[in-house]
């Protein structure tokens, strides 16, 4: 059996990056979330969160809506259908890799 560890490098880096994974996981659990909620939830700085959201929006994994609540600006983020598919596919692949690692038996080292 081929070691499953090489497949870890083949994971979707757009989703797998820790900050974006946290954002995608949070958004997959709710209809939408405002920027400040996501910032508190993920612990990211405003600039860092904004940057990651921009990458996810460019890939059509999230949609971002800017509005006003009175005179206060409000940014709302929702996961798209493609985003839901991407995060589900990512979790499924991680589970497959975990199962492969559990079944993996190292080959005995050979001496030359």
Share of the chain above pLDDT 90, in %: 76
The parent domain of residue 37 ranges over 4-100
Please state the domain count of the chain: 1
Q: What is the CATH number of the domain that holds 50?
A: 1.10.10.10
Whether 111 is in a domain gets the answer: no
Question: For residues 33 and 76, is the Cβ–Cβ distance under 8 A?
Answer: yes
Q: Tell whether 109 is covered by a domain.
A: no
- Distance, CA of 48 to CA of 92 (rounded, Å): 27
Domain membership of residue 82 (yes or no) is yes
The pLDDT of residue 23 is 97
Residue 112 lies in a domain: no
Residues with Cβ within 8 Å of 106's Cβ and at least 6 positions away in sequence, in order, are 3
**pTM assigned to the model:** 0.86
* Beta-bridge partners for 74: 67
- Retrieve residue 34's tokens: 């405002």
pLDDT at 35 over 80: yes
Question: Does residue 94 belong to any structural domain of this protein?
Answer: yes
For 61-96, the pLDDT digits (tens) are: 999 999 998 999 999 999 999 999 999 999 999 999
């Amino acid at each position: 059996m081929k070691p499953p560890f090489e497949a870890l490098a083949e994971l979707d880096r757009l989703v797998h990056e820790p900050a974006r994974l946290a954002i995608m996981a949070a958004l997959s659990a709710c209809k939408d979330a405002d920027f400040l909620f996501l910032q508190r939830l993920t612990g990211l700085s405003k600039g860092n969160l904004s940057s990651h959201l921009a990458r996810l929006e460019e890939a059509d994994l999230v949609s971002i809506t800017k509005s006003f609540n009175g005179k206060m600006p409000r940014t709302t983020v929702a996961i798209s259908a493609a985003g839901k598919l991407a995060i589900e596919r990512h979790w499924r692949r991680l589970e497959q890799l975990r199962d492969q690692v559990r079944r993996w038996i190292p080959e005995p080292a050979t001496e030359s």
